[in-house]
Structure 1
Amino acid sequence: MAARKTTQRSAEPVKCSVCHGSGEVSRTVHVGRKRRAVGQQTGLCLNCLGSGEAPAE
């Protein structure tokens, strides 16, 4: 019997569709009573919780 060759596959994790693998998303910052937009701030991606990988279904 011949020895079996084992091949290791480098299973690359699927990137998160919301943050595109960065783990961060940009949010618009609003101020004042009229909720005027003044800029953007980065925050943690709530879909992947900052890991950058797509969550398991």
Structure 2
Amino acid sequence: MPKTRKERVIAMARKTTARRTTTKTTPAAEPAKCQPCGGTGQTSVTVRVGRKRRPVGQQDGLCLDCFGTGIAASS
């Protein structure tokens, strides 16, 4: 059994430290734009009136593919 302080320090097992490696992070890719609305979140809808359903104009509506976010669905 070591008696002096120096002998105790020498007798202690030295801890081995694992070298830490850092991984390079790449910036996230920009999400794909929604195809039907072009990334705006709105689509044009033709407004029809009358018994013959004649078109009278255009109206902006919410894009049903992306629900107005402008980002393409992941699936």
TM range (shorter): 0.7 to 0.9
Root mean square deviation, CA, Å: 1.6
Work out the CA distance in 2 between the residues paired with 1:32 and 1:2: 73
TM-score when scaled to structure 2? 0.66
Work out the CA distance in 2 between the residues paired with 1:35 and 1:14: 36
Tell me the CA shift for residue 53 of structure 1.
0.1
Richer in strand (by share):
1
Select 2:34's aligned residue among 16, 19, 25: 16
Query: Any runs of at least 4 consecutive aligned residues in structure 1 with deviations exceeding 2 A, and if so which?
Result: 1-8
Q: Which runs of 5+ in 1 are unaligned?
A: none
Tell me the CA shift for residue 10 of structure 1.
3.5
Work out the CA distance in 1 between the residues paired with 2:72 and 2:66: 6
Q: Choose 1 or 2 for highest CA Rg.
A: 2
TM-score when scaled to structure 1? 0.85
- 2:4 equivalent in structure 1: none
Work out the CA distance in 2 between the residues paired with 1:55 and 1:7: 25
- 1:31 equivalent in structure 2: 49
| Number of positions where the alignment pairs a residue of Structure 1 with one of Structure 2 | 57
Q: What is the aligned-residue identity percentage? A: 53
CA offsets per residue over residues 5-50 of structure 1, 9 Å max, x none?
Answer: 6334132111001101000000000000010100000000000000
Select 2:69's aligned residue among 36, 51, 56: 51
